[in-house]
Each structure stands twice: as C-alpha cells, then as structure tokens.
Amino acid sequence: MTAPIDRIDRLFAHNARTLPGQTHLVLADCSTQTWLQTWQRASAIASALLGSGVKPGDRVLVLSGNSRELQELYVACGIANAICVPVNTLTTARELVATAQDCSPAAAFLEHALIDRISPELSIPGLKVVMRASQAGWQTYEDVVAAAPGEQAARWLLQPPVDSRGDDPGVMIYSSGTTGKPKGILLSQYGVIENARMTQSVARLQMSDINLAMLPLFSSFGFCWDFLMPALAGATTVILTKFDPQSALKAVEKHRVTVLVGVPTMFARIFDAPELSKTDISTLRLMDVGGGPVSDKLKHDLKHVHGIEIIESFGLTEISPVAAAQVPGDAHRAGSTGPALPGVQVKVIDFDGKVLPPNEPGELCFSAPTLMLGYWNRPEQTAESLRNGWLHSGDIGIVDEDGHIYIRDRLKDMIVANGYNVYPKEVENALAEHPVVQNVAVVGVPDEIRGEVIHAFVVLREGASATGEALIAHCATLIGKHKLPRQIHFTDNLPLTASGKIQRFALRDQARANIAAKAPA
C-alpha cells in the first residue's frame, strides 16, 4: 500500500516513480536533472547523514544559495527524518553562530563561497558530518553523492530507511525575534505539504509549466512556491542562483518560463529594466506577488500590457506559510490580500479577545491544519502565539463581509524591506553597540519599490559625533545587509508616550517629512 503524500520525501519518491525521466531542474549551466536523479542524489546525502549517526529529529544546518543542493537537502532530510534548517545567505558570522547555538545541529552543509565570505575558520561544535560544495580538505557534497551505494535509492523508493510520519517536524526556518535573538519556527512535514497543496488549489500550476526560482529557497515563501508547488504539479524549475533583472529576463526568454514568483521589488526592477523591451516574455502566464503591496500601475501593466495573470498572496512562516490569496477571476479589491485559502479560518479580535464583526480593525488570527509546531525551545512564546488552535499574528487588519483580508498595521512593528522581515530591535541592538550611541529607534517607511525602507533615529552621547555612513558601516559588521538602515536621522530625543514607550508612528511621520524636505521641487 502506497503511503499518503504527506511528507517531502514521499512527494519526491512519488515523482521519481511516476515521472522518472521528466525534467525536474534546469541548472545554471543549462544542464538538466530528472525527478529520478534528484531522488538518487538526495538518497545519497541521506545515506551519509544516517551513516554518520544523524538520528530522526536531529537538525541539519544548511547555508546555501539557490541551488540543486539545497533542494536535494530538503529531500534528504526528509528521507533521514531529520530537520532541515536553512539559513539566510545574508547572515553574518555572529548570526550564524547564534543560530547554531540555538538549534545544536548534528550536521551542516556550507556553501564554500558563502562561508568564506562570512568566516573561513568558523567552527560549529558537535557536528557529525560537514559538507561544503567544493573545498580542498573538506568532505565535498559531490564526493558524498558519488560514494553512496546506488541500490539504496531504488530500495528507499518503496521502503524508507527510518520510520516517519506526516506530523514529524521537517523544516525549521529562523525569523529573528523582537529581542534580536534568532527564533526557530518549527514546521511539520504534513504542514508544509498541505499548505503547498492548499495554495496549489488556487494557483493551479500545471505539469507543463516552467517555473523560474527567483525567491531565496531558504525563505518560507520560496520554499513553498519555488520548491514544493512545482513538485506537486510535476512542473520544471529553472534555478536562478542570484537575482538581478537582467538574469531573470534572460532566463525567461531562454527557457520559455511560464511562472514567476517574487516580491514587489523584484517585479518592479524587472519591468523597469531597459532590457525588457528587447526580451520575449510572451510565455509568461502567471505571477504570484507576496511580501508587500503591489502598485496599481504594475498590476495594470501585467494584465493589460503583457497578458499575465497575477496572484497576490499573504502569509506567515508560522502558517507554513501562505494564509490568503487574491487570485485571477476574483473581483479586484484595492488593498486586499484576498480571502483565506481553503482550509484556513480567519477572525479578528480586539484587545480583550472578543471577536469583531466585519470591517472592524483588530488583531488577525488564523486557524489551519498547517500551523507551526511551535518556536524551537521557546514554550512561553509558543503559548503566547498559539492559543486554542489559533495563531495570533500580531498584524492589525480587517476582514470584510465577503471574507477578504486587509492588512492595516503590525502590532509587533516588523518591517518588510525588499521582501525580508526585519525586526526593529535587531537593528537597534546593532546601533546601540556603537560607543557614541545613547538611544535609538528604528522604523519602516513605506516605499513604492522596496515595500518599506529602514530608517533609524539616533540620539548621540553628549559631546560625541558620528556620521550616518559610519553607523551604517558599523551595523554591517553585526547584521545582514538586508537589515541595514538606509537612512540615519540624528535627533536630540525620541518621542515618548506617557508610559515611556517610543511613539514609532511619530518617527514614521518625521521620516516622511525629512524625505519630503529633501525632495527636489
């Protein structure tokens, strides 16, 4: 009897059995890899993990850009029933060490170009196996693939090497907490597969589709849309190792891409690129935009100039990750992220927990069979976010009488810059480490291209001086570049409430005023 497809490894085993010779991946050098080859290579890595003593539930830390290796490692961890922990490639050495200390990985895959940039001598204690993409003196990924017994992959298609269930933990994606410390969001195998299936029910990817993987595959957004959903459809994925508009347009034309998924910044850059007019994008039929609002002009151009259908989706990693989508055919509602996905329930509550009627603003709460298992080793934060089967999102919004969701603000003050979630406290902590900084507050200011731009308001110590450039350079040694403030505002004091809390709305207004004052007349 065939096991239900409720795990990543079972999905890929199914595709290896039913679509063995069909193209799964198109690599950077334009070579291709079939579904069966992906399964065979992933099985080889799983064999190395198990042979090194990695046990079910152990964590496997992965630092990799978009690559076939990252896709294979997701599958390999499923086969071994280990937990894959992908890390943001913009991370710093300090952030990577903090993540490793938090999750205590048993194994790691480190892409050599990334680890050399971060810290060539980085050491993570307790590892049973370490692989690098290519590096003398290290166990390389390809050596591991070549050394594995070939018959294992065929045997594991029918009988997995370890016992596993759909509700086992499968992936842990880190999202920094409001204290600036990394926070692992633990997702089940079933949760990520079912969420992709729910999203696929409205997106309707087809086996004939060719998807360009532009999003970071270490993110929950990219993991769902560019890894799992093409697998559910049996579609082909073209891997874009690093995003820039020229490379994306070239790939669309060369590989006859039909589906693109990204954040508004990506699409704004693609459709503003001078190369667009010289590129054949006629094969594109569908785009999903998440991670921020889409401008009305871009929506109009996609639909009426290029003939491309657009989906706007909204989600949280804690939901695995997609919660709602505005899809082609729905009556367009300005500012809406669409209704909740099939299988997702949404309600709006006030500060006392009372459910509010339609069109009343309050905290958005979601219930779904795909909710996270919890925050890694953080029972109190888990209990605060998950209450009686409902995820309390921390987002303020409304739900109209037809069930369409509108995001209004964030209770937790998270900034979405270029599609990345950035918590003000992380940036504030980095700035506060500079000896001239007495006090600091960070806010996000809306930006048509980037979604939001990070602005920092800094109070200097008495008698001290500094430039904005110097403070940004200081931050660059402590946090990833996607978290760096784009503008520093020096001020004598920060606006406070009567209870001493920073009035962030006042700082946002001040940042807008400063921008307007500098704009050319």
Per residue in 328-359, pLDDT (tens digit) is 777 667 778 999 999 999 999 998 999 999 99
Which pLDDT does position 147 carry in this prediction? 87
The CATH number of the domain holding residue 471 is 3.30.300.30
8 Å CB contact between 80 and 160: no
Whether residue 468 sits in one domain with residue 350: no
Residues 155 and 88 in one domain: yes
Do 172 and 103 contact (CB within 8 A), yes or no?
yes
Question: Pseudo-torsion of CA 125, 126, 128, 132, nearest 10°?
Answer: -20
Please identify, among 354, 375, 396, the residue that sits at the C-terminal boundary of a domain. 375
User: Does residue 424 sit in the same domain as residue 276?
Assistant: no
Query: Exposed e or buried b for every residue in 338-358, given b needs 16+ CB within 10 A?
Result: bbbbeebebebbeeeeeeeee
Q: Is there a single domain that holds both residue 129 and residue 234?
A: yes
| Contact partners, residue 17, CB within 8 Å, separation at least 6 | 157
- The rounded mean pLDDT for the chain is 90
Q: What is the mean pLDDT of each run of 10 residues along the chain (521 residues)?
A: 85 98 97 98 96 96 96 98 95 87 94 80 78 67 87 90 96 69 91 98 96 96 98 98 96 98 88 94 95 74 88 94 87 82 96 94 96 98 97 92 86 82 86 92 89 94 94 96 95 74 85 82 54
- Number of domains into which the chain is organized: 2
Tell whether 3 is covered by a domain: no
For 162-201, how does the pLDDT look when each residue is reduced to its tens digit (9 = 90+)?
A: 999 999 999 999 985 433 466 999 999 999 999 999 999 9
- Strands 322-326 and 336-339 come out as unpaired
Name the domain boundary from 375, 407, 424: 375
Are residues 390 and 366 in contact, defined by beta-carbon separation less than 8 angstroms?
Answer: yes
Identify the helix (H) or strand (E) that includes residue 11: helix 8-18
Residue at which a domain ends, from 375, 394, 429: 375
Q: Do 117 and 230 sit in the same domain of this protein? A: yes
Are residues 360 and 231 part of one domain?
yes
State the residue range of the domain holding 432: 415-518
- Alpha-carbon distance 514 to 444, whole Å? 14
Q: What is the pTM of this model?
A: 0.84
